[in-house]
Structure formats: structure tokens, C-alpha cells
Chains A and B, each alone.
Chain A
């Protein structure tokens, strides 16, 4: 069964600290993996898109990694800011399916 599992479900960290969010998937065949940021009450916004051959991709303080062999991805946030408080959604695209993870809810405390 095609699945995308994200962990942790929620995370609380202090402003300025780093954190890493995890995404494991079983989607096959695999086309690409995406990370989105969703602010409360808003639509998701794309952070990164990675294909099979890409191991890492950065977007400012956000760095995504992909291990297609183990079917795992991570999103690392460096020097967190209050504006990073949001849900982070991992999306895996197969040949004919797009599977959304349930997201990780990140809270940044001042």
C-alpha cells in the first residue's frame, strides 16, 4: 500500500534552535518527493522538490535530504524563527499517485 508517514506528529523548540523532521514512504514507483509548509488557515506552500537522483536540496534555512534506497527523507530547519511555526507536509509522487503525509506540526517558542 502506498503510504507516507511523518514524524514526529508535533514538535516544540525554542527560537534559534535547529530541528529535523522525518518522512518515510512506501510509494512505488517513485517520481519525486516534495516538502510543503502550511501556515494555519492558509494553503500549503512549496519548499523543495527532489527527484530520485537528488540527495539534498536547500531553500534558505530549509534543507531537505532524500535517500531513495531506504525511502526516507528529512527536512532540516536551521536557526529556527517564530515564523517557522507551521505544519510541514511531505508529499510523495508516484507515476499515477500523489500521496500526502499527515504533516508535522512545529511550534517555535520565543
Chain B
């Protein structure tokens, strides 16, 4: 099993729909992150969480919300999807600031 699992892998949804992307990890890391990747751009941070009771906005949090259900689970929601949220979404975990990330395989989201 992968250390960081994202579901679904691919999703097509209509404008205005609510959608949830899920992430679970087996690394035992406290820190979890959601990133968005657009073609030709670097990864942009949406939200991050350093433990179950800690949620922080990233650079581009507007239009998104998150829930940290447990140490191992961190979900990202789009309350009302819009086409410019079409992107590749990555969940990542980290042991701490001096440590690298472990990324999931990504969710490719298309909003039509």
C-alpha cells in the first residue's frame, strides 16, 4: 500500500457541484498539506495542518475548505466547483520542517 493515498485519482464534475478529495497516510506524520498544480506553474499551497486541531490557510485557500478527521486523514472540499479549479491536486505529509515531503499520486480534477 502507498504511504499517502489519494482518492479519487480522476474526477470530472460540473460547475457548482460540491466535491471532496480525500487523503490518508500511513507514515504517522503529524503534518499534512494540500497542494494544487497547474501546467507551467509551481505547486501552490492550499491548506496545511500540523496536527488534528491545527488548520491553516495557504496561498490560495479561497474556494476551498479542509477537514482533518484524524492524524491519518485530511480531506479537501470544493464547496461550489468552478472551471478554474481544474487542476492536479496533491496531498503531502511531512515529519517536520527539516524533512522532505511524501506526496500522494494526485487527483486530477476537471470542472466543466
Given the known A-B contacts A41-B106, A44-B103, A45-B103, are A31 and B42 also in contact in the complex, defined by CB atoms under 8 Å? no
Which of B11-19, B60-68, B69-77, B94-102 lies at the binding interface?
Answer: B94-102
B4 at the interface (CB under 8 A from A): yes
Residue of B4, B44, B101 touching A46 (CB-CB under 8 A): B101
Residue of B92, B97, B106 touching A42 (CB-CB under 8 A): B106
Q: How many A-B residue pairs have CB under 8 A?
A: 44
Question: CA of A102 to CA of B42 in the docked complex: distance in angstroms?
Answer: 4
| CB-nearest residue of chain B to A46 | B100
State which residues 72-112 of B face A: CB under 8 Å.
90, 92, 97-106, 108
| CB-nearest residue of chain A to B102 | A46
B52 to A: closest C-beta gap in Å: 21
Contact call A102/B105, Cβ cutoff below 8 A: no
* Interface of chain B: mostly helix, strand, loop or mixed: loop
- What are 18 inter-chain pairs, A to B, with CB distance below 8 A? A36-B100, A36-B101, A41-B106, A41-B108, A42-B105, A43-B105, A44-B43, A44-B90, A44-B101, A44-B103, A45-B103, A46-B100, A46-B102, A49-B100, A89-B43, A100-B42, A102-B41, A103-B42
A positions within 8 Å CB-CB of B: 4, 31-32, 34, 36, 41-46, 49, 51, 89, 93, 98-103
